[in-house]
Amino acid sequence: MDVLSILASQGIIGNSFSLCFSPNGKGRLIFGDKGTRNQKRTPLDLTTENEAHNVLIEDIVVNQNVFKHVGLTVFFDSGTTFTVLSDPAYTFIADNFNSLIKEPRKQPSPRYFEYCYDLSQNQSSYWTPTLSLIMKGGQKFDVLFPTFHLHPGNSPFYCLAIIKDDNINIIGQNFMTGYNTVFDREKRIMGWKQSKCKGNQFNVTTSAWDAQASSLPIITRVMGLLFYYFLCT
């Protein structure tokens, strides 16, 4: 977030940004977005050496099966396509997910994904269990798209879209899909709200810009105004 840090340090825009990914694969990045008052939120930990956007998951829920006090610190990373989890969180989700699926397991499973299931050629939809992450503070992050669907030739199938790793825990783009996710580095909170990622559904803070604009170099002021115009039109 070097660009954001530069803009924020000069008072051009708030030290916050949002990411929004829609199911069709499109997305947007908005610098300065603070989200909305009714968004859900959890504390954001920026104390790591690289200031990664870490949050704490307190519980995991698959349908009505609950893994309490999991105490899992995860890194929200839009640059990672699929979510990566270590044990015991991975096994809890995978085992409970697998126990409720009706379709047969795909043999052999595709590389990286252990839990995949065959679909019939004419099957256009399938049911999956609900998956929710209870964040620090008690707010629930419902994973809207826990699977991905492929149809190579006449052999369609779908997979639980989580990769197992011994040490890494990353919430990837797939779990963030369907949300406007806000990373407020000033207040140190992460916010989220369901969104179709269309229109001007964001809140760009410009109070710092208004207060400090007169003392900034003219080129910085012009760039700031153009940046604000680009975001808000």
Q: Which domains does the chain have, with CATH numbers?
A: 2-232 (2.40.70.10)
| Angle at 140 (CA atoms; ends 134, 145), nearest 5 degrees | 100
Looking at the DSSP bridge assignments, the partners of residue 54 are: 45, 75
pLDDT digits 0-9 by tens, 150-164 = 988 788 999 999 999
Closest CA to 184 of 2, 60, 64, 30: 30
- Top pLDDT among 140 and 11 is at 140
User: In the predicted model, what is the mean pLDDT of residues 97-119?
Assistant: 93
Share of the chain above pLDDT 70, in %: 78
In angstroms, the Cα distances linking 83 to 16, 19, 60, 68, 158 are 23, 16, 14, 20, 15
Give the pLDDT confidence score for residue 49 in this predicted structure. 60
CA distance 104 to 39: 38
215, pLDDT greater than 80: no
Give the pLDDT confidence score for residue 138 in this predicted structure. 98
State pTM to two decimals.
0.81
Mean pLDDT computed over every residue of the chain: 83
pLDDT digits 0-9 by tens, 53-75 = 999 999 999 999 999 999 999 99
The greatest distance separating any two alpha carbons of the chain, rounded to the nearest whole angstrom, comes to: 66
Average the pLDDT over each of 35-49, 77-91, 154-168, 205-219 and give the range with the smallest value.
Answer: 205-219
pLDDT digits 0-9 by tens, 119-130 = 998 888 999 999
At residue 227 the predicted structure's pLDDT band, cuts being 50, 70 and 90, is: very low
96, pLDDT greater than 90: yes
Give the pLDDT confidence score for residue 109 in this predicted structure. 80
